[in-house]
Amino acid sequence: MIKTELFDLTGKVALLTGASKGMGRAMAQALAAHGARVMVSSRKLDQCQATADEINAACGEERALAFACNAGYKEQLQALVNATRERLGPVDVMVGNAGINPFYGSMLDIPDEAYDKIMATNVKSNLWLARMVVPDMIARGSGSIMITSSVGAFGPSLTLGAYSISKVAVIGLVRNLAAELGPKGVRVNAICPGLIRTDFAQALWDNPAAETRAKEQIPLRRLGEAQDFQGLAVFLASGASAYVTGQALTVCGGSHMRA
C-alpha cells in the first residue's frame, strides 16, 4: 500500500457556502473524509444540519458543524466566519459555492433588481468572504480559496446572460486575488462546472433533449454528478496543488475542452 500525505487535510479547517446540497455537499463530504473539520453553511439550517450529521456518521466522529447563512448578506457572512473560528479554529480552506440565478431570458429584459442580486451574491459576496478569512491564512503563510464559476463564463447565453456575466467576473476576481495573495502563501482558484445533475440546474438537465446532447456531444457521454467535484476539492485544499493558483479548472466531461 502506498502511503502519501499529499491529500491529507488533518487539522485543516474548511468553511463552505452553498454546502447543504449538490456540489457543495459533495465537497464538504470529501474534505471531511480526508481529515478536515468543516463548517457547512447555506440558507436553511435544517438542511445544513442534515448534511453535517451525514458527514459525522460517515467519519465516525464530529468533523462537521452547521450554520445558517445567506451569502448575499455581509453581516451573515461575518457571523459565519466568527462561528467557524470560535467552534473550529482559524480558516485554512474557503469554498465559495453559493450562487443564484433568479432570471431566465434576454439581457434586454432583466430587471435591475435581478441583475444586482445576481452580481452581489455570485461575485461580491465571495470578495467579502475572502476578505474575512484571508487574515487567518496570511497569519499561517498558507491557505486555499476556491470559488465556483461555470462553463457559462466561456460564452454568451440567450437565457442565462447575467448569470454567465457573473461567472466571468468570478474568474476575474479569482485571478486578481491569486496575484495579490500569492506572495503571502494563499492560493485562489475557480471551479467551472459544466452541466451537473443537481437541484440548482434541474431546469437545464431534466429533459430528454439534455440527455440526448449529453450522450451524443459530451466526450464522456454523461451529465456531471455532484460527486465529480470531490477529488478536485481535496486536490485544491491539499498540498497536492501547492503550485496551482489563479486557475479556472473546468469539470465538464470534456464539453468545453477548447474554451
Distance CA 176, CA 76 (A): 25
- Rounded to whole angstroms, how far apart are CA atoms 41 and 66? 6
Backbone angles phi, psi at 105, to 5 degrees: 145, -170
Residues contacting residue 63 through CB under 8 Å, at least 6 positions apart:
32, 36, 37, 38, 55, 56
- Cβ atoms of 209 and 191 within 8 Å: the answer is no
Residue 253 backbone phi and psi in degrees, to 5: 70, 10
User: Which of 190, 218, 209 has the alpha carbon at shortest distance from 95?
Assistant: 190
Q: What is the CA radius of gyration of the chain?
A: 18
In the chain, which ranges are continuous DSSP H helix? 22-33, 45-59, 74-87, 112-119, 125-140, 161-181, 202-205, 208-217, 230-237
243 catalytically annotated: no
Grid cell 476576481 is found at 173
For residue 118, the Cα-to-chain-centroid distance in whole angstroms is 16
Q: List, in order, residues 6 or more apart from 128 with CB less than 8 Å away.
A: 74, 77
Alpha carbon distance 232, 155 (integer Å): 23
Catalytic residue among 73, 104, 163, 243: 163
Residues catalogued as catalytic: 163
